[in-house]
Structure 1
Amino acid sequence: MSEIVVYELDKPVATRSSAGSVSGGERRVRRVHAAPAAPGSRTVAGPRTLCGKDTFAMETARWEPSEQPGAPWYPAEHASVVCPECAAVIET
């Protein structure tokens, strides 16, 4: 697979510590997409996902399916939020 897995993240949610201070929020994965690699790179996503979304604000996953024989193209813990359009392109 020459695609790179990228995460579309929710907006940060502020969290309060036990001391009552507000800290930077955790960002949850909203959707998992696949994007072609940028020209000349194997680790940087191109400008658009396979479904056409802009990758600028997305986070690149540290997931490489080639390291996991027989594994799906996305991390198993995010199976419920895989982009169906990206999945359809990869499956064809």
Structure 2
Amino acid sequence: MSTIVVVYELDKPVPARPSPEIQGGEERHVRKVHAAPTAPGEPAATGPRTLCGKDTFAMETGPSTAEDGGTPWYPAQYASVVCPDCDAVIET
């Protein structure tokens, strides 16, 4: 059983409120959800590349999960944006 880390590929920051008069923070939306192996010797850290080969440097780290074959490796609310390549690697 391997441990993977969920990582989020985010869109570029956009203003949380469209009006320039209202000050607000920036909101970023999840573009794709990827899976990455943990870093060697650091089970809580993300490795340098996702399972589909993308660089994880600019991605936001999510939860670590064990590949057990019984439950999805990604959070259910992001099922529509799961990377199909990462998902295929996990399913094999």
- The answer to whether TM tops 0.5 is yes
Distance 1:85 1:17, change over 3 A: closer
Matched to 1:32, the amino acid is V
**Residue 27 of structure 2: aligned partner:** 26
Alignment CA distance shift 1:64-1:39 (3 Å): closer
- For residue 40 of structure 1, report the CA deviation from its aligned partner: 0.7
Name the TM-score, length of structure 1 as normaliser. Answer: 0.84
1:42 and 1:53 map into 2 onto residues whose CA distance is 19
Report what 2:88 is aligned to: 88
Structure with a larger share of its residues in strand: 2
Higher relative contact order (CA 8 A, sep 6+): 2
Query: How many residues in Structure 1 have an aligned counterpart in Structure 2?
Result: 88
Aligned residue in 2 for 1:72 = 72
Q: Secondary structure at the match of 1:43?
A: strand
Q: CA deviation at 1:25?
A: 1.3
Distance 1:70 1:8 in 2: 25
Q: Is the 8 A contact 1:17 1:23 kept in 2?
A: no
Q: Which runs of 5+ in 2 are unaligned?
A: none
Q: Answer whether contact 1:3 1:35 (CA < 8 A) is retained.
A: yes
Percent identical across equivalent pairs? 66
Q: After superposition, give the CA deviation of every residue in 1:38-92 in whole Å (9 maximum; x if it has no partner).
A: 011111110000000000000011x3445xx942000000000000000000000
Residue 25 of structure 2 aligns to a residue in which SS?
strand
Q: Which is further off, 9-18 or 29-38?
A: 9-18
